[in-house]
C-alpha cells in the first residue's frame, strides 16, 4: 500500500509541471493579409515544453489551405538564472480561395490555441506584367492619404525565381518623415501568372511631420544571382542583378485648424481606469485606493501619447507612481501604450468623487473626431479604523416643541463623544488634584487622607465612564490618572501592572495596552475592563503600607 502511494505521489510530481508548462501555447501568423497564390506561415509556440509535445493534428486546415510543409525548432534562454525553453512548430500554408479564411483552434500539448483569421485577396492584374522576369519588386503604402503624425505602412517585396548569393535592399530616405523598420524580414513563396517565386518582404513605419505631398522614391535592390545549371557557378561565377519598385506618392493633411488638444491621429484608441473597489470592499480614511489608468493607441508610438494624470481631488491626496510606456508591433501597425498608477489617500469620511476624464482623438479610419472618456466615479469613504464618526448636528426647529423633541432625542442617545469629553474633563480635574496633593505633601509633614480618597473616587468614576466607550487612549489615560491618585510614583501602565496583585487586573491592563498601541477597537473589551477594576485596585502586600512613594523594582522579573 505504501509503495502504491509513493509511486502515485512521484507521478503527480512529474505530471504537474508538464501540465503547467503545456498550458502556455500561442498561435500566430507571419502575415494577416495575403494574395491568392502566396504562402503564409503559421507558428505554434509552446513555452517550457516538455519532451512529450509533438506535432499537432493539422487535418482541420485542409478545407481552406494546402499544407506545403512543417518544421520544428527549439530554443533555450537564461535570464537572471532562470531558464526558459520554447518549442516552435512552423506550418507553411497556401490558401485555396479568396475571402476571410478561418484557422480553427488547434490542440497542442494538451492545450487549445486561439482561432485566427487570414484575409486573402485576388491577385493584382497590374502585377502580372513583371512575372516574366527572374527578379522584380513591388511597393505598397497604406493608406494612400493621411495626416501629419499618422503612421503609414510602407511594404517592399522582392520576388526572385533564381538563387541569390548576396544583395542589398535599400531603405527609404525621406526628409521630414520618421522611418523605422517593423520587425524582421518575412520570407515566403508566391505565384505570379503561374510561376513560383520566393519573396522577401520588409515593412516600414512612416510618420510624416509636415503637410503636403509626400514622395517616396523607388526602392531598389542590387545583388548577384547564381545559375545552378552553369558549371562556372561552382567557381564563384555569378551574374549581377537589380530590381526596383515604382515610386509612391501620398497626400498628407494638417490637423484641423480648430483642434485645440493634443493631435492624436490613430486607427483605434482606448482609455480606461481600473482598480475600482468591489461592492463588498470598503474604503476608509488613510487607506490608499490604488487605480491604474491605461491609454493605448493603434497607429501611434507611445512618444506621441500625452502623459496621464488625475486632477486634484477634494478630500483626498493623489500620489502618482512611475509611468510605464512602450510600443509594440501588431502586424504592419505600431501600438503605443502608456500606463500610470495612482495611490489615492482619502483624508476625510464621506463621498469621494473622481471626475470624468476625456481625451479627443482623430479616427483615421472614419475620418472624424472621437472622444475617449472615463466616466466620473464616486466612492463612499468610511472613517478610519478606530476613529469614531462625528455626531451629526441637529437642525434648529421653528417651534419650541421641535427643540424639545431634538433635545430629548439627544439626551436619550448618548454618543461616545460625551464620554470622551467627560473623561477629558475628569482627567484634567484628577491631574489638578494630584498636583495639589503633591504640593501639600511636600510642604506639610501631616496630611489628612480625605482629599486623597476623594480624588481617587473621582478618578475612578472618570475611568469607569471611559471604559464604556471604545477610545483605548482615553481609557489608558484615565486608568493611569486614577492609579497616580493612589500611588503618585507610578509613571506608566507597565509599572501599574507590576504593582498589582490581581491576575485579572494585570491581564486587563495588558489587553488595554495592545488595543491602545495597535489602534484597533475591540467593542467587547470595555465592560471587561470596567469589571476588572470596579472594586478598586488590588495592590501587592509589599506596596500596601507606606506613603505610596516607593518605586517599583528595577527588574520586576526573576533573573535565572
Pinpoint the residues of the chain covered by CATH 2.60.40. 15-121, 125-253, 265-382
Beta bridge partners of 42: 29, 91
Of all residues in the chain, what percent carry a pLDDT higher than 90?
A: 28
CB of 125 within 8 A of CB of 81? no
Cis preceding-peptide flag for 394 (omega within 30 of 0):
no
Q: How far is CA 487 from CA 111, 371, 383, 431, 499, in A?
A: 76, 73, 38, 13, 10
User: pLDDT 10s per residue in the chain (560 long)?
Assistant: 445 544 444 444 444 444 444 447 888 887 788 877 778 889 888 887 666 788 888 888 888 888 878 888 777 766 656 777 788 888 888 888 888 998 999 988 778 898 998 988 876 655 555 556 889 999 999 998 999 999 999 999 999 988 887 788 888 888 899 999 998 899 999 888 788 899 999 999 999 999 999 999 888 898 888 766 665 555 556 778 888 888 888 999 999 988 988 999 999 999 999 988 887 788 898 888 999 999 999 999 999 999 999 988 999 999 999 999 999 998 889 999 999 999 999 999 999 999 999 999 999 999 999 999 999 999 999 998 765 544 444 343 333 333 333 333 333 344 455 556 566 677 767 777 776 676 666 554 433 444 444 468 888 888 887 887 788 888 888 898 888 889 888 888 888 888 898 989 998 888 887 777 665 566 667 778 888 888 899 988 754 444 444 444 433 333 33
Q: How high is the pLDDT of residue 237?
A: 63
Inter-residue contact 334 to 301 (CB < 8 Å): yes
Is 486 within 8 Å of 454 (Cβ atoms)? no
**Strand 107-108 vs strand 220-226: parallel, antiparallel, or unpaired?**
unpaired
CA distance 222 to 361: 42
Alpha carbon distance 469, 482 (integer Å): 17
Say whether domain 125-253 belongs to CATH 2.60.40.
yes
In the beta sheet, which residues pair with residue 281?
none
Chain segment 341-391, per-residue pLDDT in tens: 999 999 999 999 999 999 999 999 999 999 999 999 999 999 987 655 444
> Domain 15-121, what fold?
Immunoglobulin-like (2.60.40)
Q: At the topology level of CATH, where does 265-382 sit?
A: Immunoglobulin-like (2.60.40)
| DSSP-assigned states of every residue in 166-213 | EEEEPPP--TTEEEEE-SSPEEEEEEETTEEEEEEEEEEEEEE-S-EE
All residues at 6 or more sequence positions from 142 whose CB lies less than 8 Å from its CB, including other chains: 152, 153, 155, 332
pTM given for the model: 0.55
pLDDT for position 328 = 93
Radius of gyration of the chain (CA): 41
- pLDDT > 70: percent of the chain: 74
Half-sphere exposure of 415 (CA within 13 A, CB side): 10
pLDDT of residue 399: 37
Residue whose C-alpha is closest to residue 172's, from 157, 187, 154, 160: 154
Amino acid at each position: 500500500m505504501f509503495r502504491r502511494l509513493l509511486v502515485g505521489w512521484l507521478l503527480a510530481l512529474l505530471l504537474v509541471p508538464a501540465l503547467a508548462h503545456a498550458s502556455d501555447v500561442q498561435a500566430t501568423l507571419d502575415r494577416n493579409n495575403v494574395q491568392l497564390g502566396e504562402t503564409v506561415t503559421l507558428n505554434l509556440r509552446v513555452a517550457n515544453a516538455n519532451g512529450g509535445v509533438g506535432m499537432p493534428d493539422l487535418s482541420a486546415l485542409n478545407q481552406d489551405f494546402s499544407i506545403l510543409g512543417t518544421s520544428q525548432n527549439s530554443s533555450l534562454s537564461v535570464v537572471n538564472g532562470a531558464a526558459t525553453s520554447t518549442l516552435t512548430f512552423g506550418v507553411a500554408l497556401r490558401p485555396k480561395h479568396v475571402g476571410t479564411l478561418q484557422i480553427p483552434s488547434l490542440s497542442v500539448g494538451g492545450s487549445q490555441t486561439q482561432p485566427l483569421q487570414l484575409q486573402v485577396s485576388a491577385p493584382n492584374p497590374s502585377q502580372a506584367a513583371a512575372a516574366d522576369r527572374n527578379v522584380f519588386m513591388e511597393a505598397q503604402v497604406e493608406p494612400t492619404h493621411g495626416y501629419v503624425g499618422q503612421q503609414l505602412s510602407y511594404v517592399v517585396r522582392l520576388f526572385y525565381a533564381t538563387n541569390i548569393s548576396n544583395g542589398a535592399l535599400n531603405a527609404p530616405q525621406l526628409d521630414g518623415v520618421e522611418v523605422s523598420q517593423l520587425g524582421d524580414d518575412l520570407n515566403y513563396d508566391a505565384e505570379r501568372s503561374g510561376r513560383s517565386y520566393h519573396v522577401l518582404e520588409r515593412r516600414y513605419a512612416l510618420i510624416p511631420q509636415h503637410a503636403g505631398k509626400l514622395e517616396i522614391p523607388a526602392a531598389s535592390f542590387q545583388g548577384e544571382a547564381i545559375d545552378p545549371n552553369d558549371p562556372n557557378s561552382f567557381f564563384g561565377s555569378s551574374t549581377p542583378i537589380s530590381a526596383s519598385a515604382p515610386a509612391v506618392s501620398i497626400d498628407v493633411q494638417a490637423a484641423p485648424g480648430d483642434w485645440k488638444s493634443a493631435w492624436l491621429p490613430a486607427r483605434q484608441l482606448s482609455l480606461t481606469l481600473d482598480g475600482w473597489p468591489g461592492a463588498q470592499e470598503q474604503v476608509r480614511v488613510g487607506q490608499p485606493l490604488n487605480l491604474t489608468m491605461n491609454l493605448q493607441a493603434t497607429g501611434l508610438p507611445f512618444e506621441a501619447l500625452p502623459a496621464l494624470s488625475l486632477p486634484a481631488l477634494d478630500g483626498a491626496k493623489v500620489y502618482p507612481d512611475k509611468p510605464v510606456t512602450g510600443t509594440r508591433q501588431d502586424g504592419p501597425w505600431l501600438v503605443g501604450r502608456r500606463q500610470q498608477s495612482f495611490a489615492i489617500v482619502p483624508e476625510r469620511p464621506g463621498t469621494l468623487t473622481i471626475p470624468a476624464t476625456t481625451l479627443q482623438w482623430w479616427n483615421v479610419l472614419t475620418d472624424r473626431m472621437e472622444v475617449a472618456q472615463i466616466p466620473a466615479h464616486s466612492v463612499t469613504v468610511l472613517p478610519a479604523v478606530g476613529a469614531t464618526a462625528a455626531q451629526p448636528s441637529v437642525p434648529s426647529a421653528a417651534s419650541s416643541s421641535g427643540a424639545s423633541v431634538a433635545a430629548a432625542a439627544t439626551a436619550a442617545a448618548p454618543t461616545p463623544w460625551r464620554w470622551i469629553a467627560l473623561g477629558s474633563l475628569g482627567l484634567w480635574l484628577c491631574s489638578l488634584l494630584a498636583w495639589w496633593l503633591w504640593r501639600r505633601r511636600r510642604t506639610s509633614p501631616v496630611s489628612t487622607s480625605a482629599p486623597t480618597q476623594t480624588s481617587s473616587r473621582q478618578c475612578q468614576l472618570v475611568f469607569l465612564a471611559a471604559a464604556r466607550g471604545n477610545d483605548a487612549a482615553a481609557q489608558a489615560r484615565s486608568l493611569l490618572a486614577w492609579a497616580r491618585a493612589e500611588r503618585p510614583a507610578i509613571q506608566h501602565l507597565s509599572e501599574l501592572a507590576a504593582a498589582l496583585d490581581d491576575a485579572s487586573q494585570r491581564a486587563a491592563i495588558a489587553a488595554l495596552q495592545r488595543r491602545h498601541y495597535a489602534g484597533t477597537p475591540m467593542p467587547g473589551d470595555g465592560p471587561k475592563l470596567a469589571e476588572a477594576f470596579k472594586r478598586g485596585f488590588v495592590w501587592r502586600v509589599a506596596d500596601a503600607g507606606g506613603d505610596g512613594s516607593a518605586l517599583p523594582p528595577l527588574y520586576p522579573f526573576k533573573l535565572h
